[in-house]
Amino acid sequence: MSRNKMSPFRKDSLVLVAITALIFSQTWRTAMTDEGGMRLPKNVLPVSYDIQLLPIIEEGNFTTPGFVEIVVDCIETTSAISMNSADISIDESSIMISDIASQEPIGVMNLMVEDDRQIITIELDSQLMSGRQYKISMNFVAVLNDELRGFYRSTYEENGETKYLAVTQFSAPDARRSFPCFDEPNMKAVFTIKLGRKLSMSSNSNMPKIKTEPIQGMADYVWDYYQTTVKMSSYLVGMMVSEFTGVPSESELNRVPFTIWTRPSLTNLTKYAGNIAPQILKYFEYFTQIDYPLPKVDIAAIPDFAAGAMENWGHINFREADLLIDEQRSSEVAKQRVAEVTGHELGHMWFGNLVTHDWWSLVWLKEGFARYVQYIGTDSVEPGFQMDEQFGVATLQSVFRVDSLESSRPLDFDVNNSASLNTLFDVVVYDKGASIVRMMANFLGPETFRRSMTRYLHSRAYANAVQDDLWRAVQEQIELDGLVLPATVKTIMDPWTNKMGYPLITVTRNYDGTSGGTISQSRFLLRKSTNSTDSIVYRWWVPLTFTADFSLPQKSIWISDKEDSIPLPDLSATDDEWVLFNVGQVGYYRVSYDDTNYGLILQQLATDHTVISAKNRAQLLDDTLTIARANIVPYEKALDLTKYLALERDYAPWTAATNALDFIDIMLYGYPDFNEWKVYLSDLVVPLYKYVGFDEGTRDTHLFIYTRTHAIHWACTKLEIDDCVQHANQVYASWMTNVITENDISPNLLRLISCSAIANGSDPEWNFGYQKYLASTLANEKIDLLKAMTCTKETDIIYHMLEMMINETSGIRLQDANTLFSSIAANPVGHGVALDFLATRWDEVNAYFSGYVGFGGSSMPGLFRSLCDRVNTNEQLAESTRV
């Protein structure tokens, strides 16, 4: 009996759009549902907080008794005070309100609690008068939860004993789970913090500690008092109570003291972060021309952490995998990840902390800029990483895939309920935000861009910003520098933030000896819905760049948001010369060409592909193969473009190619043509595999190592090339028999070797990998081993792993569960098992993840979304729809 299959290239319309659009549109509907209004009234605004918290870190009593005193300005006369609170028990009898000037108390009539809005309202028996200051105080008890949000608890094992710590994650926005507060980014105040702890523990917060005193009536407990913070948003408050050890940075650049905090057994892994962090901070001080304003930086490695890191001002929290590096056992990928995350979080000290988005709808003003500056910050300490070479394939092309759906969203996008705020922290905010900042920096020029950022930061320091504040500062700098643009920067940039999607630029040349042509723009969609009700006109101000010779300066021209097409009289190319647009892929747009120009490009790639820059070769591959998915160019032409890959040796083109070819590989899997497809891919991959080799060399560059991982991934796990598989299996077998140890295996190949051996093995290989996973104390190594374990082809083992995912005693942390599930879903054998598991045990999985809301929203849509990529049959589509 044959399976009822659909055409493999219809996945875009039936799955990627249908299911992914369903997820995104459901997120939109949830986000836009108004729960009676989630915003606080602005009749009173906070000036200062005095916060006293005593986290009880003991089994059976994970609570935090607290006291808060808030000084507020009364902006409008009112008889009620509303603030945020979630999962906090407030002692209503302790609530006190008083006029600061007269010391007169204000009577409290009632405390109204709206759990769904996460708002409490104190109803008063008399009015607060506009223009006066008041003091609000109360006692409360918060929960020291295990949900990786608010003031929560994390655990680790040390010498066979479970250790606990209390740590904060207040974005976005969860300060309200720790203490009642005005938890909106534009309600800035100063914070004076007092933390209680056992004598055997230590505490940290945003500012330096000034004194320690015993807690009366509690033996072995003390209060730590901290300096008052600068004016900042509540989500930036950071606190930690732990048995961690602090390792001061030994960098000679420490104008500001840096200390890396981690569990005592891992202090030997802090050297790399301690070395690069002060250097990156110093670079950002130069870049912004604004000194870091706090007296210290603490950086903590947290065992359980929802995000990669969190930029609490003066006390930054990281996942262990994103901070701790073993110079011998950590891979180049892990090392770059630590540098990038460090650059990202330190970038927030200016973009986000010093100048904060006015509301979460504008969170791209911090995350988009932080993503952009993480590249230049990393480049400042690790130029060998060639970060600019990576931006296009790692960030721009990544968001292109999401932003080509009708279900995408604008950068400036509001939400109306607290549960959906985390859904804003998505690839659009980070990667599209960074991409349009990069595009703007390019058409402004580096010095005007840098000076405009300094102007922007100075103009809104310790305050909040909306987009127009940014555009205004940039425009002022443009005029000072005498730069000429075709319109104001607001006119140019607003369409990029207020509209979803991006343009496809179509280049049609004349070939009549005039060197001219026509340039047109239209919104690029993978599939256009026939019943769309979207009435927005999708046109942009596009800074076009083009060249026919990369040894010469590029040409540039603009197409406006009022123009569908423009004539271009001179492309600076003869009829037998190719032309390429979007030089360096700096612009946020795709490009399509007429048949003749495509033919000229193909000839050049076959003759000498290096004449075209590596970044533009990557762009050609990604643009053309993606445009083919939308049926704008034939797939035959797009695949003709890939033939030259047998000659390609550079990282960026191969990254773009493997991302695009992986889609075709998935769509053809299980079909009669799949073996022929593997032969074609082998002809492309084997030359690269032979060029880079299986074994590393002492002179291998960073991106050469990255390229080798591409080659081995495809040669070993995708195409099962004998030489690659035998190499991997031999190394793993030697490891299993103690001929070698993990220290003898390149950390850059550990995951790939283990994946291949486990895929081609059975229970012994998997069990060995699992035991190594449990035994490893190096977080980034554990992630590599966890991913390798999911390569098994044994369905019973795969099912067992899925059960481990929802078992808190399995050794798999909650923060890593999505990695486990998505890796299984990407496994051709594991995909069906994962789909069935989610369908049959949805309630159980949902209950396990119910309290965990990480960046990007709740876990369940993320788990489901990871299943969509491998759906290529009607049966799978029906099952996915049923889920």
Three-state secondary structure of 447-484:
HHHHHHHHHHHHHCCCEEECHHHHHHHHHHHHHHHCCC
Is 825 within 8 Å of 831 (Cβ atoms)? Answer: yes
d(CA 533, CA 527): 15
Structure tokens at 80: 């009620």
d(CA 540, CA 777): 50
The verdict on whether 345 is a catalytic residue reads yes
Three-state secondary structure of 531-556:
CCCCCCCCCCCEEEEEECCCCCCCEE
Is 167 within 8 Å of 154 (Cβ atoms)? Answer: yes
Is residue 800 a known part of a binding site? no
Is 783 within 8 Å of 822 (Cβ atoms)? Answer: no
Length of the chain: 883
Structure tokens at 463: 């305050």
**Strands 221-226 and 209-214, bridge-based pairing:** antiparallel
Query: Tokens 């608890």 appear where?
Result: 153
Is residue 344 a known part of a binding site? yes
Helical ranges in 383-426 per DSSP H: 387-391, 397-403
List Cα–Cα distances, 502 to 54, 400, 539, 561, in angstroms.
50, 8, 8, 12
d(CA 778, CA 782): 6
Kindly give, in sequence order, each residue whose CB lies less than 8 Å from that of residue 172, ignoring residues fewer than 6 positions away.
235, 360, 363, 421, 422, 424, 425
Can you say how many angstroms the Cα of residue 559 is from the centroid of all Cα atoms in its chain? 31
d(CA 467, CA 427): 19
d(CA 191, CA 525): 47
Can you say how many angstroms the Cα of residue 516 is from the centroid of all Cα atoms in its chain? 42
Nearest to 426 by CA among 498, 501, 367: 367
d(CA 125, CA 113): 18
Query: Tokens 């120009």 appear where?
Result: 597
Question: Annotated catalytic residue: which of 147, 345, 648, 765?
Answer: 345
Query: Tokens 């103009």 appear where?
Result: 459
d(CA 497, CA 783): 35
Is residue 458 a known part of a binding site? no
d(CA 574, CA 341): 46
Structure tokens at 810: 């399995």
d(CA 336, CA 332): 6
d(CA 304, CA 310): 13
Amino acid at 580: L
Structure tokens at 796: 């019973």
Structure tokens at 581: 């647009």
What stretch of H or E contains 880? helix 874-882
Structure tokens at 201: 């523990």
Question: Residue positions in the annotated binding site?
Answer: 344, 348, 367
Which residue ranges make up the annotated binding site for Zn(2+)?
A: 344, 348, 367
Active site residues: 345
